[in-house]
Structure 1
């Protein structure tokens, strides 16, 4: 369990840093955008769905789009993701407002991955990627 948590934390650290750098600017309008209130301010978050393989199943795209549209973030999910991010020493220099925004961002991404997994498209064989950007003030 500790190994999995460490792996997830490392992947999240990379996601947070990549979202901050916007190293992969999207070429289209986001599939979902919102402004989220967080302690200390607000964050603008956008998500894009993109094929991770050539010719992904249409069903996977539909499931991912529906899950992204319907994703809701509970206080418990936010708190859980925040604790995971806040406990990662690689993120010690990331402002706390950004960690709160990233917690929300990751909870939505988790909903999409879970929906795909439930439909038989596990994350280990990813067919749809969820890209995101985060800007907090």
Structure 2
């Protein structure tokens, strides 16, 4: 999958969820509730500049991509596999939380891909980060 990161995806997801990503970030740039295996999840995403003077074209593209991101079943399955492969230790993830995490990561990946296609790739410097939080019940 071209959207995989060399960094442990699972570690990033857990860090974002445990840190209370939304605390102090204000209103999310996108919030969505969706059904998962036997539960419902609410996800939030925030766009944040990582450098001074982000070009307005990059900000506009990130906003457009975040707002319009759609999660396809194949993406969801790819991200579920990536998360499971990246998981360390014996901690198990419930199916509903796994689906929630995968959904959040698919949206984040869509924004990064859109930025790259618009001429703003992650390397050498990521201009805009997509922070997220997900709660499944």
TM bucket, shorter chain = 0.7 to 0.9
**Partners of 1:34 and 1:44 within 8 A in 2:** yes
Q: TM-score, normalised by structure 2?
A: 0.87
Counterpart CA distance in 2 for 1:103 and 1:97 is 10
Q: TM-score, normalised by structure 1?
A: 0.87
Match of 2:52 in 1: 54
- Alignment CA distance shift 1:99-1:36 (3 Å): same
Aligned residues: 133
CA deviation after TM superposition for structure 1 residue 6, in Å = 7.5
Match of 1:113 in 2: 112
CA deviation after TM superposition for structure 1 residue 120, in Å = 1.0
**Cα distance per residue 1:67-123 (max 9 Å; x no partner):** 001100000000110111122341751333211101000100011000100111111
**Partners of 1:26 and 1:48 within 8 A in 2:** no
Counterpart CA distance in 2 for 1:38 and 1:92 is 23
**Cα distance per residue 1:22-48 (max 9 Å; x no partner):** 344242100000011111211110000
The ranges of structure 1 where at least 4 consecutive aligned residues each deviate by more than 6 angstroms after the TM superposition are none
Q: Which structure dedicates a bigger proportion of its chain to helix?
A: 1
**Partners of 2:48 and 2:131 within 8 A in 1:** yes
Q: Which runs of 5+ in 2 are unaligned?
A: none
Find out whether 1:134 has 2:134 as its counterpart.
Answer: yes
Q: Which runs of 5+ in 1 are unaligned?
A: none
Q: 2:18 aligns with which of 16, 21, 24?
A: 21
Kindly report which structure 2 residues correspond to 1:1-137, keeping only aligned pairs within 5 A, or say none: 7-8=6-7, 10=8, 12-24=9-21, 25-90=23-88, 92-93=90-91, 94-124=93-123, 125-137=125-137
